[in-house]
Amino acid sequence: MDNLTHTLFGATLARTPLGRAGRGTTAALLIASNAPDIDIVAAARGSASYLHWHRGPTHGTLGVVGLGLLTAALVWLGRRAIDLRRPPPPGEENASFAMLASVSTIAVLLHVLMDLPTSYGTRLLSPFDWHWYAMDWLPIIDIFLLVILVTGLVIGRLAPESRRRVTLLALVLMAGDYGLRATAHHQALEIAPRLFGPLLPARCDPAPAATLSPIDVWPRAQAPAAAPARPCLVEIAAMPTFLSPFRWRLVAHLSDAYELHDVDLLDRRLGEPESTRDVFWRLSVRYPDHWTPPVFRAAATPVARVFLGFSRFPAARAFVDPTGAATVRWNDMRFAGGLFSLASPRRPDPFTVTVRFAPDGSIVQQQMGR
């Protein structure tokens, strides 16, 4: 999630018993709710460094414990410094270091767990395992969560006597938002094969539905050692959108391309018989993904390795001019197309990598972003 949502959630937690365990717990909750994103300091060395470290060790097991203890130490030392200048009011006690450590660790853990259901994902097991994990329920910024958290905090401020009930209601509504999106995500995946139509190829490696995990894991092998004779379906994913929990972007990952299709689960045409639907209903946007020799060579460059470790759906394109110079570009299909629909103007895509080779094969450019 974005840091505004994490901060608002930390402020909401401060109105639960976690925030009433002594002086300093509110500060600990607010700091710890954002602490895992301290990896933004890696951006000082460029976008590739940031992408390599973002949601890495600070979001893993060691990060949860280490950042919880670090936050507790900072708050405990800060409270002691403040108390030397201004003693606490009678009857108010500072939280112990053990309590601050417990509260902070819980807040850091909840930060990681809030990142997991997003389509961006997180690396739960780093630094021991650098795979990404995601559930694809929520976009990186969920306006509904923001409205729930802001409303709860404002009402609690205006009506202190109802603060506990309002906080509980906000947490219940948050759970409802997660539950609604999880249900809608499952429904979008169920109807996806019908929307792509009969031209959708068979699966490359059929697997029983019962064995499919609700948590997606990547990176996988970027391309088969030998391309299949006929195009086949690797997987279908449903990406959440920003404006509605009922609108989803379906991504069909084929062995040689990606196909994108928008769907609104509230559209009444979904209930119509197959034979009466308009032809446009099956139209999708297609992005080629051809792993040619220049693409494999570009994939070995440092920037490309970082990007391919992050990108869940990297679509590759290669261009070779008459002189023999080659340009290879990848785009992550999670962020392709227009912001609100595939028909809307395409948004700027920072998750792009370009590698250029001179005719003699030397690298003349490797760049992330447009």
Average of per-residue pLDDT across 95-106? 96
Full residue range of the structural domain in which residue 47 is found: 3-115
pLDDT in tens, 161-179: 999 999 999 999 999 999 9
* Residue 309 predicted with pLDDT over 60: yes
- Whether 273 is covered by a domain: the verdict is no
Whether residue 173 is found in the same domain as residue 251: yes
Boundary residue ending a domain (216, 235, 268): 268
Average of per-residue pLDDT across 281-299? 87
- Whether 93 is covered by a domain: the verdict is yes
Query: What pLDDT is recorded for position 227?
Result: 66
- Count of domains for the chain: 3
Boundary residue ending a domain (268, 303, 326): 268
Per DSSP, helices labelled H in 231-325 are 293-298, 302-310
- Whether 127 is covered by a domain: the verdict is no
- Pairwise CA distance, residues 33 & 306, whole Å: 27
Query: What pLDDT is recorded for position 351?
Result: 85
- Whether 155 is covered by a domain: the verdict is yes
Whether residue 233 is found in the same domain as residue 322: no
pLDDT in tens, 104-134: 999 999 999 999 999 999 999 999 999 999 9
- Pairwise CA distance, residues 34 & 11, whole Å: 11
Whether residue 202 is found in the same domain as residue 298: no
Contacts of residue 222, defined as CB under 8 A and 6 or more positions apart, other chains included, come to 291, 299, 308, 314
Whether residue 20 is found in the same domain as residue 105: yes
- Whether 283 is covered by a domain: the verdict is no
Residue 73: CB atoms within 10 A of its CB come to 14
Query: What residue has token string 């009433």?
Result: 20
* Amino acid letter, residue 52: H
Query: What residue has token string 């603060």?
Result: 163
Structure tokens given for 262: 């928008």
DSSP 347: P
Query: What pLDDT is recorded for position 275?
Result: 54
Whether residue 352 is found in the same domain as residue 256: no
- Whether 314 is covered by a domain: the verdict is yes
Nearest to 319 by CA among 351, 292, 287: 292
Whether residue 161 is found in the same domain as residue 44: no
- Pairwise CA distance, residues 16 & 37, whole Å: 24
Structure tokens given for 134: 């995601």
Alpha carbon dihedral 125, 187, 222, 307, in 10-degree steps, equals -60
If residue 258 lies in a helix (H) or strand (E), which one and from where to where?
A: strand 257-264
Boundary residue ending a domain (236, 268, 300): 268
Cβ neighbourhood burial of 61 (10 Å; 0-12, 13-18, 19+)? middle
- Whether 137 is covered by a domain: the verdict is no
* 179-200: b (≥16 Cβ within 10 Å) or e: eebbebbebbbeebeebbbeeb
Whether residue 148 is found in the same domain as residue 223: yes
- Pairwise CA distance, residues 363 & 301, whole Å: 9
Per DSSP, helices labelled H in 131-256 are 143-158, 163-196
| 350 Cα distance to chain centroid | 15
Whether residue 82 is found in the same domain as residue 14: yes
Cβ neighbourhood burial of 298 (10 Å; 0-12, 13-18, 19+)? buried
CA-to-CA dists, residue 122 to 59, 113, 125, 147, 230, angstroms = 7, 9, 9, 24, 34
Residue 341: CB atoms within 10 A of its CB come to 13
Which range of 84-93, 188-197, 207-216 scores highest in mean pLDDT? It is 188-197
Query: What residue has token string 């500072």?
Result: 94
* Residue 346 predicted with pLDDT over 50: yes
Average of per-residue pLDDT across 320-326? 92
Nearest to 326 by CA among 367, 368, 293: 293
SS3 label, residue 310: helix
- Pairwise CA distance, residues 218 & 240, whole Å: 18
pLDDT in tens, 200-259: 898 887 654 444 578 999 998 666 556 677 889 999 999 999 989 999 999 999 999 999
Whether residue 102 is found in the same domain as residue 49: yes
Whether residue 168 is found in the same domain as residue 249: yes
- Whether 134 is covered by a domain: the verdict is no
Per DSSP, helices labelled H in 86-141 are 97-115
For the chain, how far is it from start to end, CA to CA, in angstroms? 24
Query: What pLDDT is recorded for position 349?
Result: 72
DSSP 241: -
Nearest to 52 by CA among 327, 304, 293, 335: 304
pLDDT band at 282 (very low <50, low <70, confident <90, very high): low
Whether residue 30 is found in the same domain as residue 66: yes
Whether residue 253 is found in the same domain as residue 314: no
Percent pLDDT > 90 in the chain is 72
